[in-house]
Amino acid sequence: VSKNAGKNRYSIFNEEMNVRQLRRMGLENDLRQSMDTNQLFIVYQPKWDSQHDRLVGMEALLRWRHPELGLVSPGEFIPIAEETGLIIPITYWMIGEVCEQNLNWQHELKVFVPVSVNMSARMFENPLFAGRVERIVRQSGLSAEYLELEITESIAMNSMEGTVEQLKHIQSLGMRVSLDDFGTGYSSLGRLDEMPVDIIKMDQIFVRKSDQSSKQAIVSTIIAIASNLELELVAEGVETAEQEAFLQSRGCYLMQGYYYGKPMTVEQMNEWLKEKVLHMPLAE
Ligand code: C2E
Ligand code: MG
Ligand code: MG
Ligand code: MG
């Protein structure tokens, strides 16, 4: 009996694997068509200076509206885009779109803030990456200081041939580089000072668990590291006034999270900007 039960469990497991593999294969196929059929779009989430109550930036996040499945989460489709290499043309497309959209905000609403785009490790396989970004930005007419690139600790640390040079090239154009999800990767703190980054984004796990004293100690340490290395620090995933108050009490004021604004379509962001940013007295 136990032998049969084991066999059954095994075959059920196998069927689950098949369902998952089939969905994955389907998504992979569909993702290839998604760019040409306007299924991909970009949402923007505000970065907020909670000390001066003002907008300091936005992060561009990719969305995929699948014709049958509806919205597919980035957690599911980004890894597929990375494995297939589709993330490469998608990212270049995004950089161009973000530059154009940011220029629109500058011209139409007089909103001048940098917008960041997430980079996959795959981008750095191409030694011409930085030059290509430079060309896209220059052709758009956007001043480079209004574009930021977000990289992960593994990109920064795995020191793939040329990655550091490419990031320095990006910085030399006036773009800033931020280190995303900080504290969750396998980064070596001992080399953080050598990395071409300007901004640290503290991962949301520390914010979410900031009622735990052990996590509070880590938050304070990250804040001290950022301050000592003169890096800007942004806390990710801030959802409540309590979390904001805690972060402020430890000296972190730049925030990103649902508490300030969710990722929004361009139309939603336009409304949000008119309500939250343009009707406020100008800072200083
Ligand atoms: P990320 O770059 O760390 O982006 C932040 C994620 O946290 C976003 O999830 C955002 O919607 C979510 N978030 C922001 N504030 C809050 C909050 O207060 N509470 C909670 N629970 N979540 C919050 P999203 O858009 O689902 O993206 C997930 C990840 O997928 C991103 O993490 C990034 O690693 C990847 N991703 C998204 N768009 C792109 C892209 O265009 N290119 C690449 N390479 N990766 C992307
Ligand atoms: Mg990011
Ligand atoms: Mg992040
Ligand atoms: Mg993340």
State the ipTM, two decimals.
0.98
255 token code pair: 């925030």
- The CA distance from 154 to 150, in Å, is 12
Query: Which residue intervals of 85-184 are DSSP H helices?
Result: 87-104, 129-140, 153-157, 163-172
146 token code pair: 């209004």
Which ligand has the shortest distance to the CA of 78?
A: 1
- Tell me the CA–centroid distance for residue 15 and ligand 4, in Å: 30
- The CA distance from 17 to 157, in Å, is 33
Report in angstroms the alpha-carbon separations of 114 from 60, 125, 147, 183, 242: 10, 25, 5, 24, 27
Which ligand has the shortest distance to the CA of 40?
A: 1
What is the predicted pLDDT for the residue at 16? 73
Which residue's alpha carbon is at the smallest distance from atom 10 of ligand 1? 263
Closest C-alpha among 214, 203, 217, 210 to residue 240: 210
Name the pTM for this structure. Answer: 0.93
- Tell me the CA–centroid distance for residue 10 and ligand 1, in Å: 35
Ligand 1 is surrounded, with C-beta below 6 A, by 45, 61-62, 73-75, 78, 87, 94, 118, 120, 150, 180-181, 204, 236-239, 256-258, 263
Which ligand has the shortest distance to the CA of 240?
A: 1
What is the predicted pLDDT for the residue at 91? 98
What is the bridge-based pairing of β-strands 115-118 and 40-49?
unpaired
Region for residue 165 given its phi and psi (left: phi exceeds 0; alpha: psi -120 to 50; beta: otherwise): alpha
Name 44's bridge partners: 60, 264
- Tell me the CA–centroid distance for residue 49 and ligand 1, in Å: 19
What is the predicted pLDDT for the residue at 282? 53
Tell how far CA 230 is from the center of its chain: 21
Residue 59 φ/ψ, nearest 5 degrees: -115, 130
What is the predicted pLDDT for the residue at 284? 47
Residue 87 φ/ψ, nearest 5 degrees: -60, -25
12 token code pair: 């059920």
Residue identified by tokens 């030399």 is 172
Q: How many CB atoms lie within 10 A of CB 276?
A: 16
- Tell me the CA–centroid distance for residue 13 and ligand 2, in Å: 34
46 token code pair: 């505000």
What is the predicted pLDDT for the residue at 267? 98
How would you write the pLDDT of the chain (284 residues) with one tens digit per residue?
A: 445 555 555 666 677 778 888 999 999 999 999 988 999 999 999 999 999 999 999 999 999 999 999 999 999 999 999 999 999 999 999 999 999 999 999 999 999 999 999 999 999 999 999 999 999 999 999 999 999 999 998 888 776 678 999 999 999 999 999 999 998 877 677 788 888 999 999 999 999 988 889 889 999 999 999 999 999 999 999 999 999 999 999 999 999 999 999 999 999 999 999 998 887 655 54
Amino acid (one-letter) located at 237: G
- The CA distance from 188 to 220, in Å, is 18
